[in-house]
C-alpha cells in the first residue's frame, strides 16, 4: 500500500527508500519551498543508487526519470539532503523547510540535454500534488542554482520554467516592453548602480552581499538568474533584457 498522502495522486509512484534523511528541525512548522534539481549523473541508476548510499549523504524526496517514472525516496515530513549550503529570501539551510525533486538528466558535466515530454508531464503532476499538500509561494519554486549560485547550475537553461509557470507552478516574467538598450553592467564595475542591482537581486530572493562591487559572486547570481528567467542568453552580464526581467518580477510581486 502506498502512503496515504499519495493516494490522491493519479500517478504511479515507485518506492525507492533511502536512509539519507532525518527529522526536520522542531521550529519548522511549514514546508513552503520547492527546490528542483537535475541529477547530473550518467544514468538514472547511478543517481538513484547514490541517493541511497549512506556514504554520500545525499537524497531528495522525489526523483523523476526521463520516461516519467516517479520514485519516492524520502517522506515529505522528513528532511531530505539535497540543497546543501543554500540561501533564499533571507533564510539559509533550505533543506529544513523544502521539498526536493531530482530530475534525471546527465547535466552540464555529462551531456546536458532537453527534458523529455514524458518527464515534464510527470513532474508537473507531481508538483501539483505537492502544492495541494503544502502552501508554496510561487516565488519559492526555485532551482538549485538559485539557492546556491556559486556552486550549482541545475536544473539549468534547458529546463522549461515557463511551462511550469503556465501550469501554476512558480513565476515567469511577462514579455518586457522597452528594456533600456544601453544597460550593460559586468565585472569589475563598482558603484551605486551596482549596489542598486544587487539590492534588487536580494529583494527577489538571491543570497548576495550588497557591496556595490560586481565581482564573481554577483556574476554567479546573474548567471543563475538567467538560467531560470532569461534562458536565451546566459553570460553573467546584467544587460538590458536581464535587468528588465528582474524589475518586472519584483514589480509583479508587490
Ligand atoms: Zn542540485
Domains of the chain: 10-166 (3.40.80.10), 184-253 (1.10.101.10)
User: Is residue 102 among the annotated active site residues?
Assistant: yes
pLDDT for 6: 47
pLDDT for 183: 86
Whether 189 and 197 have beta carbons less than 8 Å apart is answered as no
User: Is the pLDDT assigned to residue 5 strictly greater than 80?
Assistant: no
Residue 177 makes CB contacts below 8 A (sequence gap 6+) with: none
Helix or strand (DSSP H, E) at 119: helix 117-133
Mean pLDDT, the chain, as a whole number?
93
pTM: predicted TM-score of the whole model, two decimal places: 0.94
C-alpha 37 – ligand 1 centre gap (Å)? 4
CA distances in angstroms from 5 to 9, 39, 134, listed in the order given: 8, 25, 12
In the numeric block, the cell 526536493 is attached to 100
C-alpha 153 – ligand 1 centre gap (Å)? 8
Q: How confident is the model at residue 179 (pLDDT cuts 50, 70, 90)?
A: low
Return the C-alpha cell found at 137: 509561494
Q: Which of 165, 155, 136 is nearest to 252 (CA)?
A: 165
C-alpha 203 – ligand 1 centre gap (Å)? 23
**What pLDDT digit, counting tens, does each position of 131-157 carry?**
999 999 999 999 999 999 999 999 999
Active-site hit among 102, 157, 178, 217 = 102
Helix or strand (DSSP H, E) at 85: none
pLDDT for 181: 76
User: Is the pLDDT assigned to residue 9 strictly greater than 60?
Assistant: no
In the numeric block, the cell 505537492 is attached to 130
**What pLDDT digit, counting tens, does each position of 234-251 carry?**
999 999 999 999 999 998
Rounded Cα distance, 207 and 90, in Å = 8
Whether 66 and 116 have beta carbons less than 8 Å apart is answered as yes
C-alpha 159 – ligand 1 centre gap (Å)? 13
C-alpha 107 – ligand 1 centre gap (Å)? 10
Return the C-alpha cell found at 149: 549560485
C-alpha 83 – ligand 1 centre gap (Å)? 7
Rounded Cα distance, 20 and 59, in Å = 6
C-alpha 174 – ligand 1 centre gap (Å)? 27
Rounded Cα distance, 63 and 100, in Å = 9
Amino acid at each position: 500500500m502506498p502512503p496515504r498522502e499519495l493516494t490522491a495522486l493519479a500517478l504511479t509512484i515507485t518506492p525507492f527508500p533511502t536512509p539519507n534523511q532525518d527529522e526536520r528541525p522542531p521550529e519548522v512548522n511549514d514546508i513552503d519551498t520547492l527546490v528542483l534539481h537535475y541529477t547530473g549523473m550518467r544514468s538514472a541508476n547511478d543517481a538513484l543508487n547514490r541517493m541511497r548510499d549512506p556514504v554520500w549523504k545525499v537524497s531528495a524526496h522525489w526523483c523523476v526519470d526521463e520516461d516519467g517514472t516517479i520514485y519516492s525516496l524520502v517522506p515529505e515530513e522528513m528532511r531530505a539532503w539535497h540543497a546543501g549550503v543554500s540561501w533564499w529570501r533571507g533564510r539559509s539551510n533550505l533543506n529544513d523547510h523544502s521539498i526536493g525533486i531530482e530530475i534525471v538528466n546527465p547535466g552540464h558535466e555529462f551531456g546536458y540535454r532537453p527534458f523529455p515530454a514524458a518527464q515534464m508531464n510527470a513532474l508537473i503532476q507531481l508538483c501539483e500534488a505537492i502544492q495541494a499538500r503544502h502552501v508554496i509561494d510561487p516565488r519559492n519554486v526555485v532551482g538549485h542554482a538559485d539557492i546556491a549560485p556559486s556552486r550549482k547550475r541545475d536544473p539549468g537553461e534547458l529546463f522549461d520554467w515557463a511551462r511550469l509557470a503556465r501550469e501554476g507552478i512558480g513565476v515567469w516574467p511577462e514579455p518586457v516592453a522597452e528594456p533600456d538598450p544601453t544597460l550593460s553592467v559586468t565585472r569589475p564595475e563598482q558603484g551605486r548602480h551596482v549596489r542598486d542591482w544587487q539590492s534588487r537581486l536580494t529583494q527577489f530572493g538571491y543570497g548576495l552581499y550588497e557591496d556595490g562591487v560586481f565581482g564573481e559572486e554577483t556574476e554567479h547570481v546573474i548567471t543563475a538568474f538567467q538560467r531560470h528567467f532569461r534562458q536565451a542568453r546566459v553570460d553573467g552580464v546584467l544587460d538590458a533584457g536581464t535587468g528588465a526581467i528582474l524589475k518586472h518580477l519584483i514589480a509583479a510581486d508587490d
